[in-house]
Amino acid sequence: MEVRVGTVDEVRRDGCRVVEIDGRSVGIISVGEEFYAINDRCPHMGASMCTGSLSGTMVASDPHEYVYGMDERVIRCPWHGWEFDLVTGRSLLEPKRSGLRTYRVTTDDGHVVVHA
By the rule CB under 6 A, 84 interacts with ligand FES: no
By the rule CB under 6 A, 103 interacts with ligand FES: no
3-state SS, 30-80, equals EECCEEEEEECECCCCCCEHHHCEEEEEEECCCCCCCEEEEEEEEEECCCC
Q: How far apart are alpha carbons 111 and 66 in whole angstroms?
A: 40
Sole window of 5-13, 32-40, 75-83, 101-109 interacting with ligand FES (rule: CB under 6 A): 75-83
Kind and range of the H or E element at 115?
A: strand 111-115
Which residue's CB is nearer to ligand FES, number 95 or number 110?
95
What part of residues 4-63 is at the interface with ligand FES (CB under 6 A)? Answer: 42, 44-45, 47
By the rule CB under 6 A, 82 interacts with ligand FES: yes
> In Å, how far from its chain's centre is CA 63?
30
Which residue's CB is nearer to ligand FES, number 44 or number 115?
44
List interacting residues with ligand FES (CB under 6 A). 42, 44-45, 47, 77, 79-80, 82
